[in-house]
Amino acid sequence: MQTMLSITKMLILMILFPFISPSVAYAVPRAVILFPNSARVTDVTRISPQKAGQGSFKTVVNLPAQALPDSLTARLDSNSPLKIEDQSWRRINRQDEGRIADLQKNLQQAKTERIGVVSVIQSLEAQLRFWQAQDKGKSRTAGETAILAEQIGKGVQKDMQEKLTLEPELERLDKKIRELQEEIARIAGQKETLWEVTLILSGPPVRAEDLTLTYTLNGCGWLPQYRLDARPREGRILFTWEAEIWQSSGGDWNQIDTELATLQPHSALGPPDLPPWIIRPRPEFRLHKSRQKADAAAAPMAGAALSSEAQDAEPRETRQTTYAVWALGKKTIPAGSRRRLMIREDAWKSDFVHLLRPSLTSQAFVQATVKLPEGKETPSGTATFLIDGGVLGKRPFAFAGQEGTFSFGIDPLVTAQSVLLSRKSGEKGLIVDRQTQEWSWRLDIRNAGTSAIRVRLEEPLPQPRDERIKITLQSEPEANEKSPSGMIWRMEIPGGQKRSLFTTIRLDAPKEMDLDLGWRR
């Protein structure tokens, strides 16, 4: 009998209110591809189309305010008898009535707790006044006075301790009440913005259908976070790649298929136009002397960078045309808060050397060169660099390919000193039409550590910009590599040992030539 009454009520409601549509909350994603600054969300929603005219129906869904409605694609199941004819959207405001009701309930509970605490404190204060009153009145013997004093002391101590214990609780409740009242006022005065999407469908009447929505959502993204822990004694780098992800759709994403894309999709649809290639005489100008000095001061950096150009059941990777996608499986991503997910852990076999440039600094920089069996792609992010587990610091990091060189700070136990042994200048020749310059240096490399190290020492060479300037070089021992810009020595130095190198550079130029001898004199 009850079942028949329920069915009858339902039929009456359907006849009297045929256009009532069910309330729609946030679209809860089933799958998401996170890009660095957005997300591509896929949601499957159960809809009940309502009659909108002869042979047409409509349904309404809500999307978060951060959604881009013009990116929305909606589709029905391939076996559905309905067809989507049109879609439109508009902004609407909605107040979170459920959240306000929860806050008001918590507020009333906090106020009730406060009343209880206040009543206990007032009772204790009354008892304290009672004990204080006992000290006055009729005269007593010395014995009675001692007993009464002891009783008063114990009573006052007990009541005062209880009161002092309750006062912080009263302060906590007062603070909680203020915060709840402020949050209620904020939510009541703030309306949430949503996108209301209306879909027009055609076909026969149906009771319910599955609607798949795919759209771009701002306020979401991910950042790569790396960790490179150098282990020189083991000859490897422990590499960790994590993804810091976030979303602010307004609701938690619970156990959704999550993927990460390494690049943001490009918005340009076509290539840029080729500009004209124009060649014409450059206007003449003269450098001011202060500018010439600045250029000369910058020369050490250019000359010292002898090899900088050469330096310049995990998630599943799927290669796309212009980016890679990492499938992480089903993940829960709360709204607002950021969390980290593991992408990859590797141990990279590495060759470690101590790079020395004594003409610039006595410090030794630990470098590791990696040669991987296959190419890797790690998008630009932030890396924490460590050596033997000790944190060195953070800096930007990106790596693509099979080979790379990474720096791991300064080794204080290894130093290199450049000592100028002699500096000569003069004239030569029968007619004395030439000028000469000569420099002699000793390079001292010390390894104060207990283990042997491999060293790469780089020294600059003067680079003449006039064919009349002649440069000759002597070094002991001979450099392993020479180029017009510098020399490179490679050696191994045992623990507690020292090695010395000697170089002599001679310059010969016309006497009348005004020479700029550069930064190393």
Local confidence band at 9 (pLDDT 50, 70, 90 cut-offs): very low
Better-scored residue on pLDDT, 314 or 52: 52
Local confidence band at 308 (pLDDT 50, 70, 90 cut-offs): very low
Choose among 42, 41, 62, 59: nearest CA to 50.
59
Eight-class DSSP state of 234: G
For residue 11, pLDDT over 60 is answered with no
- The residue behind tokens 């790649």 is 241
Return the pLDDT at 48: 86
Between CA 401 and CA 316, with CA 318 as vertex, the angle to 5 degrees is 95
In the chain, helix, strand, coil percent, each to 5? 25, 50, 30
Instruction: Say how far apart CA 286 and CA 350 lie, in whole Å.
Output: 49
- pLDDT digit string (tens) for 242-297? 999 998 887 788 899 999 987 654 555 556 666 666 545 555 544 444 444 444 44
Task: Give me the residue spans of the domains in the chain.
Answer: 97-188, 412-510
Task: Give Cβ neighbours of residue 85 (< 8 Å, ≥ 6 apart).
Answer: 56, 200, 201, 202
CB atoms within 10 A of CB 118: 13
Provide the CA 196 distance to its chain's centre, in angstroms. 33
- Is the pTM value of this prediction over 0.95? no
Better-scored residue on pLDDT, 139 or 485: 485
Helix (H, G, I), strand (E, B) or coil at 279: coil
For residue 208, pLDDT over 50 is answered with yes
Better-scored residue on pLDDT, 362 or 22: 362
Choose among 368, 458, 366: nearest CA to 414.
366
Query: What percentage of the chain exceeds 70 in pLDDT?
Result: 74
Better-scored residue on pLDDT, 429 or 407: 407
Which pair of structure tokens corresponds to residue 38?
A: 């957005």
For residue 83, pLDDT over 60 is answered with yes
- pLDDT digit string (tens) for 47-63? 888 888 788 888 988 88
Task: Give Cβ neighbours of residue 254 (< 8 Å, ≥ 6 apart).
Answer: 28, 332
Write out the E strands in 65-187: 67-76, 83-94
Question: Which has the minimum average pLDDT: 38-52, 295-309, 347-361, 482-496?
Answer: 295-309
Average pLDDT over residues 493-514: 91
Which segment, 111-125, 239-253, 310-324, is predicted with the most confidence on average?
239-253
Instruction: Say how far apart CA 194 and CA 90 lie, in whole Å.
Output: 8
Residues in the chain: 521
Backbone angles phi, psi at 285, to 5 degrees: -155, 160
Return the pLDDT at 179: 87
Average pLDDT over residues 161-181: 85
Choose among 105, 104, 109, 118: nearest CA to 171.
118
Return the pLDDT at 148: 63
- The residue behind tokens 């003409």 is 359
For residue 399, pLDDT over 50 is answered with yes
Between CA 395 and CA 400, with CA 396 as vertex, the angle to 5 degrees is 135
Task: For domain 412-510, give the fold.
Answer: Immunoglobulin-like (2.60.40)
For residue 174, pLDDT over 80 is answered with yes
Average pLDDT over residues 448-462: 91
CB atoms within 10 A of CB 387: 19
Average pLDDT of every residue of the chain: 79
Question: Which has the minimum average pLDDT: 24-38, 211-225, 268-282, 495-509?
Answer: 268-282
For residue 97, pLDDT over 50 is answered with yes
Return the pLDDT at 285: 45
Return the pLDDT at 53: 79
Return the pLDDT at 26: 46
Question: Which has the minimum average pLDDT: 4-18, 80-94, 450-464?
Answer: 4-18
Local confidence band at 45 (pLDDT 50, 70, 90 cut-offs): confident
Local confidence band at 414 (pLDDT 50, 70, 90 cut-offs): very high
Average pLDDT over residues 326-350: 89
Average pLDDT over residues 397-417: 91
